[in-house]
A and B are shown apart, each in its own frame.
Chain A
Amino acid sequence: MHATERFPNLATAIVLAALVVLPFTVPATLASQIAIFATGALSVVLLLGAVGLLSFGQGLYLGVGAYVCGILVRDAGIGLIPALLVASLSGAVLAGLLGSVIVRRHGVYFVMLTLAFAQMGYFVVLAFKSVTGGENGLSGLPRQFDILGLSIADPLSMYGFMAGAFFLVFLLVQRVIASPFGSVLAAIRENEPRSEALGYPVARYKTAAVALAGGIAGLAGGLHVIFLGFVPPSDIELEMSQRLLVIALIGGIGSPGGALIGSAFYTIVSEALSEIWPRWMALIALLLIGLVLFLPGGLWSAGRRISALFERKIAHD
């Protein structure tokens, strides 16, 4: 993340504009989905972009948040906002617990630990099938939700809620990156041994970042469940972790705005492509290869490069 990205007003404006325009360019239900996965992808962007930690397991926390929210909303009769908060919290707590242990390892070992725990998550869901519904998922959730008396049942209001949730998390992530805490995370990303030598409790900072990312993913899971009206087991499968990672990479991990761009791109393209060619994933794979080699900053950085070109042009003229 660059110094200019610290709580930049331009990025915020772009994201806000995109959120406002979205429901007019795609069906509202698709827009809600974009917002939800953008929220999930923010957890990857935070970890990889801000701290340099590659996690193949954010889907675990998304899944946990989804099941917690689903069970609370269905059985405990708790309201929408409290259920979402608890879902987010459970993601954060689990991530904090696992994280405190995982962050002791570095590089590829860290990645593989996230993978191992992600696999175990799905197994646990199947093992406790009387609670989670196993491979059938959890259905029977209420369909009508009210925020302060306003119903969000129709697609546009639902989108408004999802977009609002995403925007709040987006602002939070921006804030975190711009804060002293975020500076330490950046220092850890750039040179961990040095940060350690300077006296920072690196493990604790990393754990906090992992917990925060877990909380964000948990919230995304809860939002997904509210949107769908049921809990699909695919929310906790490895494929979800991979999807969030792919979305974050496409959008660009260099900035939180990348999560929205990536989610919009991935969702719209897969929707459009899957009807033409069932093997659309092959194209996404090629795109990923291209991005890693030529555009590691993802689409967001492409946007910045284009705008930089314009700036240069304006400066020259």
Chain B
Amino acid sequence: MMDRRRVLTGVAAAPLVLAAPAFIRRANAQSVVDVAGVYSLSGTFANVGSGLNDGSKWAIEQYGSAAGNKLNYVLLDDRGDAGEAVRKVQEAMTQRGIKHVIGCTNSAIALAVQKEVYARKGIYINEAGADEVTGKDCNKSSFRWPVACYSAVNATVRPLIDKFPKAKRWYTITGQYVFGDSLLSNCKDVFKEKGIEHVGNSYHSLSDREYSGYIATAMAQSPDVLAICNFGNQTLDVVRQAISYGMKRNTKILAVWSTGLDQFQALGPENCEDIYFGANFWHGVDTPGSRRVAEIVKQKTGDVPNYLQACGYAVSQILIEGINKANSTDVPAIVKALEGLSYEGPTGTEMIRPEDHQVVKDYYLMLGKAKGAMKDKNDLCDVVAATKALPPPEKTGCQMAASL
């Protein structure tokens, strides 16, 4: 983090300012550990970044300390720029000696920061969605909380197939980028295994907003299910437009990857009803871990936690659990402690897989309910299935080193 003073007065003050926190720290009886959170508060991902940042910050506040060390949250605002994220992490780790890093606003940032933190022997907990984070780009420093494409597809498509055995014709609308393609290929694997007829796929690009053409093409195939393989606003646009063309009458619609509450609210009950969504977190699932999250979020906002806050909370929690179990802030010790650790996370009992540092947790299949059936303004969907479906470690492409 850059001190404005350093910029405006600069020169000789710089070395003194750098040394100061260390002096202060030594003078203080209790040791402080800085935890850097890498989030975008401006730029195109500002909505995602600020929610995640809140979650991480509040978790640190709620825990307060770990293994006798006071926790100090340091925000590294990358302004939506992966390059800026890397530069800030570089600076934090080399100038401020920070070794504990959490957070990312998108996968490009996570993948870049992951390499940076590993190169400097730090520890990094993130919430990216790309497979590669615990796949071919995995490393000993990095851990990831939300489950990715394989899990999302298997935890939504399979239960849906079991629920509607007669629905054999599936159409997919896919974002033509790495993430969308991964969702699609995982879908195809399940289709093949379960004897589903994949009647067609329409690719769309990252900046598309008009989907009527793809919806028309899909409807021409009279599919039983439309599986939407993209993320973010694009998912919302496809759902909204598919409903407007009346697709709901004859076709079940599944949004494989959704961020839950904030997206349901963006759609409104009329666009959620009878639609199937996949989600990494839902506030309605009551577990000891989710209660902790709900408590601090209620205190801060008066409302229930959404995915962003829960996710931000989770990455902080993992780091803190690791420090506590290792009873030290030493990075290799934390890494060792985390591998195989079970703890009470926002979705219930969660476990960190040693082979790829992926958290094993539930992914939900949810169904939107009618406006009249909603108990409160947040009760937009019900959980239909909760599944822990993870790719076998040998299939992830991850080659984890033996030690840091």
Kindly list chain A residues whose C-beta atoms are within 8 Å of the C-beta of B130. 136
Q: Is A281 an interface residue (CB 8 A)?
A: yes
Known A-B contacts A228-B112, A230-B115, A271-B2; A25 and B7 likewise in contact (beta carbons under 8 Å): yes
**Residue ID in chain B nearest A127 by CB atoms:** B176
Asked if residues A126 and B2 are in contact (CB atoms below 8 Å), the reply is: no
A residues 241-291 in Cβ contact with B at 8 Å: 268, 270-272, 274-275, 278-281
Of all chain A residues, the one with the shortest Cβ separation from B40 is A278
Contact yes or no, B42 A135, CB < 8 A: no
CA distance A164 to B79 in the complex (A): 27
CB closest chain-B residue, reference A66: B83
Q: Are A126 and B177 in contact (CB under 8 A)?
A: yes
B86 to A230, Cβ gap below 8 A? yes
Q: Are B81 and A29 in contact (CB under 8 A)?
A: no
Within A117-141, the residues touching B (CB, 8 Å) are 122-123, 126-127, 129, 133-137, 139-140
B73 to chain A, nearest CB (A): 14
State the Cβ distance, B128 to closest chain A Cβ, in Å.
Answer: 9
Cross-chain contact A228 with B2 (CB below 8 angstroms): no
Residue on A with the closest CB to B43? A239
Contacts A29-B91, A139-B137, A278-B46 given; does A272 touch B7 at CB 8 Å: yes
Q: How many residues belonging to B are interface residues under a CB distance threshold of 8 Å? A: 46
Expressed in whole angstroms, the minimum distance between the Cβ of A280 and any Cβ of chain B is 7
In this assembly, does A99 line the interface, its C-beta being within 8 Å of a C-beta of chain B?
Answer: no
Q: Residues of A contacting B4 with CB < 8 Å?
A: 272, 275
| One of B80, B91, B112, B119 near A137 (C-beta < 8 A) | B112
User: Is A279 within 8 A of B42, CB to CB?
Assistant: yes
Inter-chain contacts of B176 with A (CB < 8 A)? 126-127
Which of chain B's residues have a CB closer than 8 A to the CB of A140? 115, 137
A-B CB pair tally, cutoff 8 Å: 121
| Those of A219-246 within 8 Å (CB) of chain B | 224, 227-230, 232-235, 239
B82 touches A137 (CB 8 A): yes
Interface hits, B45-70 → A, CB 8 Å: 46, 50
Q: Given contacts A26-B7, A129-B178, is CB(A139)–CB(B115) below 8 Å?
A: yes
CB contacts (< 8 Å) of A279 on chain B: these are 42
Given the known inter-chain contacts A229-B115, A232-B112, please indicate yes or no for A27 contacting B95, CB distance below 8 A. Answer: yes
Write out the residue numbers on chain A whose beta carbons fall within 8 Å of the beta carbon of B6. 25-27
Bound-complex Cα distance A136 to B82 (A): 10
B206 & A136 in contact (Cβ 8 Å cutoff): no
Inter-subunit contact B107/A274 (CB<8 Å): no
Question: Closest CB-CB distance, A75 to chain B, in whole Å?
Answer: 15
Contacts of B75 in A (CB 8 A): 275
Q: How far is the CA of A98 from the CA of B4 in the complex (A)?
A: 43
Chain A positions 130-154 with a Cβ under 8 Å from a chain B Cβ: 133-137, 139-140, 143
Are B83 and A224 interface neighbours, CB within 8 A? Answer: yes
B contacts, CB < 8 Å to A: 1-2, 4, 6-7, 10-11, 14, 41-42, 44, 46, 50, 75, 77, 79-84, 86-87, 90-91, 94-95, 106-108, 111-112, 115-116, 119, 130, 132, 137, 176-179, 181, 205-207
A-B contact pairs, 20 of them (CB 8 A): A26-B6, A27-B6, A29-B90, A133-B178, A134-B177, A135-B106, A136-B111, A137-B82, A155-B94, A228-B82, A228-B86, A228-B112, A229-B119, A230-B82, A234-B82, A271-B2, A274-B42, A274-B77, A275-B2, A278-B77
